[in-house]
Structure 1
Amino acid sequence: MTMRGWWLVALNLLIPGSAQVLAGNRRLGRFGLGATLVLWTLAVLAIVSSFLWRATLISIVTNPFVLWLLAAGAAFYAVLWIVLTLDTLRLVRFVKVAPGARPLIAGFTALALLLVAGSAGYGAVLATSASGFLSSVFTAAPPVDPIDGRYNFLLLGGDSGPDRDGMRPDSTSVVSVDAETGDTVIIGIPRDLLDAPFPADSPMHERYPDGYGANGCEVDVCQFNSIYTEVELYEPQLYPDAEANGSSPGIEAVRDASEGVTGLTIQYYALIDMQGFSELVDALGGVDVDVQSDVPIHADETFTTVAEWIYAGPQHLDGYHALWFARSRHGSSDYDRMARQRQLQEAIVQQFTPANVLAKFQSIAAAGSQTVRTDVPQSMLGPFVDLADKARNQPITTVELVPPNVEPDEPDYEYIGQLIDAALNPPETEAPAG
């Protein structure tokens, strides 16, 4: 009877339902075996799909409806396994088991129950959290094809805080990714760039045919990062459909200006509020950065008094220090800040692995839903996650539209176009003869 007891609890762990088929309620056992077979089939399909159709699998499991089904299935399986385990303990008949084996069998069963049912329960919680996060951040829109073989994203760093009225973009980048290889080019647009042109079909082109601020503007300083403020505060009617499409008038105006500057069609934007950026980095477990030179942390909002330093060399930065690494102004220029922000972006991309995200998903989701705005649709998450994995394994090319490449106060947009074209279409290196 002791051996029989061990066999029953082992079978219940390995093939739930089999213990009941062999020694108990066969109807319950058949139901348990059926549920186990379904679970195994889905697991095998998921494993095979992760190798053969990874983008499709991600698209399916990031659908909110599917996530709710997965949550319900995980909760159902957790309850079923608890029922099967308790029934298995009944079948063991402890009164006939050797006294020394009773606590061992009971302890093993309790541990297995905790691991299996607890894991299923945690999976249900994770699926519901993912569904809420995806619905709050990403939009419901059909997928789009790449343009000229590339996906182009507008990446904005929002500079908000308790001492500021509203939010304004403090950093602007256009990220262009090859749809096949993941080859990535990041184009940094300085906030003090002048005379930014708009595409002919932009509502801003009629107002500024010679470029933004060439003949004055509606705000005090007519430079690139003023475009968002002007349209958001004074001309939101220029983009009446922006909010319905998951954007805002100011963001759409910056998108148009970025297209005019780079000559690229931008399909999607992502705005990261720097005020919540530190929470996102903390949720990831920090970020590793090779600091090129000492970076000060300011003691006040005048950016003149230094409280502490982020010293040169390899550093593991938490959210607070990563935010100051990106924003510090003391003794440096806007162009220095742009370089640090780009370095930080690249470091986060390298460490934003699926395993890291999965392990810390709930913290990342909580921070991300408050930090990130985007019009990327949920239907594109699968292809983009797959593309991000390809990009992670390649060096990132950067084009900074700053001195000595470009003089922001006297920009040559024809030359800027040549710089960007050279980065997107580098000459092929000929193989050595022989």
Structure 2
Amino acid sequence: MASRLAGGRAQRDDDTLARDGGGAAARGLQRALGLTLASALVWGVAHLRAGRRVVGSILLGAFGLLIIAGAVTAAVFRPDLIRLAVQPTWLSAFAVGILALGLVWVTVVIRSYQIVRPDGLSTGAQTAGAVTVALLCFAVAVPVTWAAHSTYVYKDALTSIFRTGDSNGRPVNTADPWNGQSRVNVLLLGGDAAPNRVGVRTDSMTLASVDTKTGDTVLLGLPRNLESFQLPPGPARDRFPYGFTGDGAGTPGLLNEVYQYAEEHPDLVPGVTKNNRGPELLKATIAGILHQRVDYYILVDMRGFADIVDAIGGVKMTIPEDILYSRENRVLKAGTRTLSGKEALWYGRSRTNSDDYTRMGRQKCIMRAIAKQADPQTVLTKFDRLAAATKRAISTDIPQELLPAFVSLSSKVKSGAQINSLQFVPPLISTGNPDFGLIRKLSAQAVESSGTKPSGTPTAPTSPTTSGSPSATPGKSGDPSPGSTKGPQSKPVSLDATCPS
């Protein structure tokens, strides 16, 4: 009997010791996981607690330097960061750097757990600890992988849209990005492509002349149905010595037909590759019409415009009156709201109960709204989606090397620069018989009144297919068409004044 009682007491003592030991192991695992989580948030905590002061201090110091460097860079060098964000080489370096940082971070998490993990854990406890640490590593790896992937997508779009070198493939002088000129002139084109239409019609054509010191901008808008203009000297002028006729049957051609005609007739622009013929001939043609230098072009396919607007989160517009879109028999109601991409496209394209010239004015207001609202921070935070949209929708001949200069210039345009607009529409001109002398005179006056006066006499591009300034026989101005804009406007008007806000 006594031996049985002694054996029972011994068994109870063993059970108590097992329970106490299991509880201690559980508390040790919780402590280890807590220190591992703390080290994932602040490097070195686990090492310092485990008595490894040298390594812990190094990790803590490195983490502190990373935080301080990031904060100082974001606060002080933000403009430089934005300029670096449009340079493919720096984007590659950033992607590699963020992946390396992620690898170091995961290593710190794993090693922290290893040095504070208690001995004698059961199989279940070991599994629970390993799973928890794996989840912590996953939490670190996901944002790092996303950042590296997004950077790759952005870089791919950047290199797809912007090529290196100038139009002839020659290196660009980044020390003097504007070639000594006080203004840079960019032709903004809206391509009205569609599944049921062959080729591209440039239904929106605006030359943006930007003062490189102040950012002051004047927009010179040409109507899509302008006629009786000359093509630049060379093969194009030789084929149409009396003005562009398009179909060759003697009927005057329209300005929005030049782009596609050049793509279909490579002999007009010899030496220029496919998909570049249209822009080159149109740049030279518009340079001659306005007698203004055309440095670069940007073409936005209207089918992709909606995607770009959606990518930046929409565009806020004030609509003074209802706009009917006959294709869908819907109405865009008057008022101030954030338009989706589809609504913004609808706002800029509809001419039901209005005309081409009213539509041109609305398109300028969209440009103004996007320029004001799509700040670099918004673009960069949504660059993954925006990169995919712009890759589909935009083509340009702006060199990669000039992107930092253009980013700096765009910040000037955003920060209070004056944006004026002059549209060459009836009754200021007759689209069928334009007074090109008047157009050139008013263009020169508009540019000279916007910021710093341009240096040198404006000329067309100097390539064989775009050299010189086309001449044209001046016609009569006036002759307003039905539904045209209210009275001739011969001076540029501020978009801040003309666009509802």
Return the TM-score normalized by structure 2: 0.71
> For residues 21 and 251 of structure 1, do their structure 2 counterparts lie closer, same or farther at Cα, with a shift above 3 Å needed?
same
User: Counterpart of 1:155 in 2: which secondary structure?
Assistant: strand
Partner of 1:431: none
Alignment of 1:14-25 (within 5 A): 14=42, 16-17=43-44, 19-20=46-47, 23=50
Partner of 2:126: none
Aligned mates of 1:228, 1:155 — CA distance in 2: 13
Q: In structure 2, which of residues 415, 439, 449 is the aligned counterpart of residue 416 of structure 1? A: 439
Partner of 1:165: 198
Number of residue pairs aligned between Structure 1 and Structure 2: 405
Aligned mates of 2:317, 2:180 — CA distance in 1: 33
Aligned mates of 2:37, 2:195 — CA distance in 1: 59
Residue 50 in structure 1 maps to residue 77 in structure 2: yes
Aligned mates of 2:118, 2:205 — CA distance in 1: 69
Deviation at 1:224, TM superposition (A): 1.0
Residue 232 in structure 1 maps to residue 259 in structure 2: no
User: Counterpart of 1:171 in 2: which secondary structure?
Assistant: strand
Residue 292 in structure 1 maps to residue 320 in structure 2: yes
User: Counterpart of 2:351 in 1: which secondary structure?
Assistant: coil
User: Counterpart of 1:421 in 2: which secondary structure?
Assistant: helix
CA contact (8 A) 1:32 1:80 kept: no
User: Counterpart of 2:336 in 1: which secondary structure?
Assistant: strand
CA contact (8 A) 2:47 2:112 kept: yes
Unaligned runs of 5+ in 1: 97-104, 300-305, 429-434
Q: Any idea what the Cα deviations from partners look like across 1:207-262, whole Å, max 9, x if unmatched?
A: 4455434x9846865121121232222x2123234338xx5212211111110112
CA contact (8 A) 1:280 1:364 kept: yes
Deviation at 1:47, TM superposition (A): 3.9
> For residues 87 and 160 of structure 1, do their structure 2 counterparts lie closer, same or farther at Cα, with a shift above 3 Å needed?
same
Q: Any idea what the Cα deviations from partners look like across 1:96-142, whole Å, max 9, x if unmatched?
A: 9xxxxxxxx99999997666544333221221111111111111112
Residue type of the alignment partner of 2:300: I
Alignment of 1:92-241 (within 5 A): 92-93=116-117, 116-141=140-165, 142=172, 143=174, 144-146=177-179, 148-200=181-233, 203-213=235-245, 217=248, 221-233=252-264, 235-241=265-271
Q: In structure 2, which of residues 398, 403, 406 is the aligned counterpart of residue 376 of structure 1? A: 398
User: Counterpart of 1:382 in 2: which secondary structure?
Assistant: helix
Partner of 1:101: none
CA contact (8 A) 1:58 1:381 kept: no
CA contact (8 A) 1:78 1:118 kept: no
User: Counterpart of 2:255 in 1: which secondary structure?
Assistant: coil
Residue type of the alignment partner of 1:131: K
User: Counterpart of 1:243 in 2: which secondary structure?
Assistant: coil
The alignment-based identity, stated in percent, is 32
Q: In structure 1, which of residues 74, 79, 93 is the aligned counterpart of residue 103 of structure 2? A: 79
> For residues 396 and 107 of structure 1, do their structure 2 counterparts lie closer, same or farther at Cα, with a shift above 3 Å needed?
farther
CA contact (8 A) 2:185 2:208 kept: yes
Alignment of 1:387-402 (within 5 A): 387-393=409-415, 394-402=417-425
Aligned mates of 1:216, 1:222 — CA distance in 2: 7
Deviation at 1:275, TM superposition (A): 1.3
Greater gyration radius: 2
Aligned mates of 1:373, 1:197 — CA distance in 2: 25
Aligned mates of 2:40, 2:303 — CA distance in 1: 50
Aligned mates of 2:271, 2:249 — CA distance in 1: 22
Aligned mates of 1:230, 1:93 — CA distance in 2: 74
Aligned mates of 1:35, 1:413 — CA distance in 2: 67
User: Counterpart of 2:104 in 1: which secondary structure?
Assistant: helix
Partner of 2:9: none
> For residues 218 and 255 of structure 1, do their structure 2 counterparts lie closer, same or farther at Cα, with a shift above 3 Å needed?
farther
Aligned mates of 1:19, 1:267 — CA distance in 2: 59
Q: Any idea what the Cα deviations from partners look like across 1:250-291, whole Å, max 9, x if unmatched?
A: 221111111011212111111111112111111121111112
